[in-house]
Amino acid sequence: EIVLTQSPGTLSLSPGERATLSCRASQSTTSSYFAWYQQKPGQAPRLLIYGTSNRATGIPDRFSGSGSGTDFTLTISSLEPEDFAVYYCQQYGGSPLYTFGQGTKLEIK
Amino acid sequence: EVQVLESGGGLVQPGGSLRLSCAASGFSFNNYIMSWVRQAPGKGLEWVSGISGSGETIAYADSVKGRFTISRDNSKNTVYLQLSSLRSDDTALYYCARRSDESSRCFDNWGQGTLVTVSS
């Protein structure tokens, strides 16, 4: 099983600041099959980034993804009030087929 | 517009059964893998099961293998998840999600979820 470990668990920042969220895989994973999701309270997850660095439809360009192998990063260049949420990374491959990280909560400082 | 709508959740006793449904619209349903992903209260996301567009290929997480059964009816644009031998740790919000194409293999559209509570 490929385990995804996200850090930090909670990130406290102010609007306008830059956010950097990390996700480390327990073994190398295919970059094409790596994604990030945003989840707000009471809502379903929403796909943000797929294929490590591609923004999903309608996602603002302040969101960007990077990484390869075992280390992946989601960056939000300048936080807007609506960006405060929980973020999950996800990969495909191995058993189980899909695994998610435990989440990073991005909260307002 | 792609829409996915789950139903069928509820309160069930340990050892009981429940069938969840997921009605989809706005896309060529039989061309897409569909999956179920669950989220226990206050916890993260866990992939549960997936089924190919034809229904011929099915996969489960080890935590539900032998207890849950996924199926689909392409004539009704609906995917199902039969839950059996339910345990308290199956309590969760169950999301139905459309799997993206083969190039990215992520979940690009999600329903709002249906809540399953296993309790006596």
Which residues, other chains included, contact A104 with Cβ-Cβ below 8 Å and sequence gap of 6+? A6, A7, A8, A9, A10, A11, A21, A86, A87
Task: With cut-offs at 50, 70 and 90, classify the pLDDT of residue A95.
Answer: confident
Which residue in the set A32, A44, A103 is minimally distant from B111, CB to CB?
A44
Q: What is the pLDDT of residues B4-50, one digit of tens each?
A: 999 999 999 999 999 999 999 999 999 999 999 999 999 999 999 99
Mean pLDDT (whole number) for A6-17: 98
Q: What is the pLDDT of residues A16-47, one digit of tens each?
A: 999 999 999 999 999 999 999 999 999 999 99
User: In a mutagenesis test of the B interface, which of A3, A30, A48, A98 is the best target, namely the one with the most B β-carbons within 10 Å?
Assistant: A98
Contacts of B62 in chain A (CB under 8 A): 95-96
